[in-house]
Amino acid sequence: MLALEWLKNARDIMSQIENTQLENIKKAAAIMADSIECGRWVHTFGCGHATLPIEEMYPRIGGFVGFHPIVELPLTFFTNITGQMGVHQFVFLERVEGYGIEIMKGHTFDKRDTMWLFSHSGINNVNIDVALEARKQGMKVIAFGSAAEAKGKQTRHSSGKNIFEIADLVVDTCAPAGDASVPLKNHQDKIGPVSTMAFVTCVWMTVTTVAEILAERGVKLHIHPSHNVPGDTTAKQRLEEALAEYKKRVAGV
């Protein structure tokens, strides 16, 4: 049954992450905690399905203020498939060198910020633009993606580097280069991608560690609560407080 084959692949990747990436996850979390503690941001950026871990992070029940999603609509909304804002346009745009620099111009950054990038392959130009610009502005750059699988792959950027070579710190999601993981009878292409599952696993391992570090430092977290728990009469108030804190912090960005 192919469902079980995909499940085994997913579990194996989660085990690889646990066995090989804990130290870098702890290091990444410490950098992020420093940014959040001083009232600054961990900016999050990706393209295509690499925006899914960003959407999972905040706003999200169990997430907390400190993570600023940068999600560029033409690089995210391609579910029309064809026609306006379709897959053809998306594939073209993520490879346009200079586009990432223009995206960065739309925000105000600080050298105390952290730039957290998500890219499965690490070779496309928009992500590399953002990484280089963030480094230029003095930010720490953290990249999550299939780093080991990217070794030896030709970058599309004129810098000659992929984002894993630019980043200050890398967490390898341990997903295979082709992403899809299950062979299908009579077909050349595999099915069952695993990169999103790997990204989300790494995200929550990291974010929970950031929370742990900040709590140990005595920093109050503004956590996005569940408003679906019967009998919880203060959830709406806690949600309003979290959103008010986000609004206050994001005003200068």
User: How far apart are alpha carbons 122 and 230 in whole angstroms?
Assistant: 44
- Report if pTM > 0.85: yes
pLDDT of residue 148: 83
pLDDT of residue 157: 95
Coil vs helix vs strand at 229: coil
pLDDT of residue 153: 83
Dihedral (C-alpha) 161, 164, 165, 170: value to the nearest 10 degrees? 170
User: How far apart are alpha carbons 67 and 54 in whole angstroms?
Assistant: 9
- 98-129 exposure pattern, b = at least 16 Cβ within 10 A, e = fewer: ebbeebbeeeebeebbbbbbbbbbbbbbbbbb
Distance (Å) of CA 137 to CA 112, 121, 141, 163, 170: 10, 24, 11, 16, 19
pLDDT in tens, the chain (253 residues): 999 999 999 999 999 999 999 999 999 999 999 999 999 999 999 999 999 999 999 999 999 999 999 999 999 988 999 999 999 999 999 999 999 999 999 999 999 999 999 999 999 999 999 999 999 999 999 999 998 888 878 899 999 999 999 999 999 999 999 999 999 999 999 999 999 999 999 999 999 999 999 999 999 999 999 988 998 899 999 999 999 999 999 998 9
The length of the chain is 253
User: How far apart are alpha carbons 222 and 248 in whole angstroms?
Assistant: 12
